Chains A and B, each alone.
Chain A
């Protein structure tokens, strides 16, 4: 079945550091990938929609200059949290769906737990 791989699974770093998270579709191509954020005891909140070869679309309230998204190929999207601060600590999750498939589900990575000290 469709597999989405996310790396790293856990990051701990100092305040002010930039952190890059990778999301790969391992056995399918995805023109669109999605980035979500989840705070403790809350549901997933969509941050942005990543489109291959074009600019990402950000949800209201998400700073595009802080959360840089690059979707340079049909199998890879990256999220870079620039100058991270403790309030950026969260669980970041990506998802993807096959590019040409109709009526197919989205598949999620296992998430990246980001802790900023």
Chain B
């Protein structure tokens, strides 16, 4: 699976959009970009994933560049409850494919 690079930490003001970048320059054509987050002392929570098109759901939007070498997770109106570690993971599709977690980005939403 392709390796990802994320900033170690970011701050965001409550109510503002949080934009979390991820670089995955070695991504291959059949690999998806997944985003999870982990709130302290809980298991990771699925947020969103995509292959090459931009995606949006009730939690967030995922913007993938045309060359697929980077992506951005957007939380449109961050709240204090969005404070968590956000993981960008690239992996092939398939029920048997495990997820490899890097260090993630620690997002701190401040009042």
Q: Which residues of A contact B (CB under 8 A)?
A: 4, 6, 30-32, 34, 36, 43-46, 49, 51, 91, 93, 95, 97-111, 113
Contacts and interface: CB of A to CB of B under 8 A. Distances in A.
B34 A46 contact: no
Nearest to A35: B98
Contact of B93 (A4, A32, A34, A103): A103
B103 interface: yes
**Residue among B36, B43, B103, B104 with most chain A CB within 10 A:** B43
B70 to A, nearest CB: 20
Interface of B: 32, 34, 36, 38, 41-46, 49, 51, 87, 93, 95-96, 98-104
A43 B38 CA distance: 10
A7 to B, nearest CB: 13
Chain B facing A: main interface SS: loop
Nearest to B45: A108
Contacts, number: 59
Contacts of B96: 31-32, 49, 51
A102 B93 contact: yes
A46 B95 contact: no
A95 B36 CA distance: 12
B32 A43 contact: no
B41 A43 contact: no
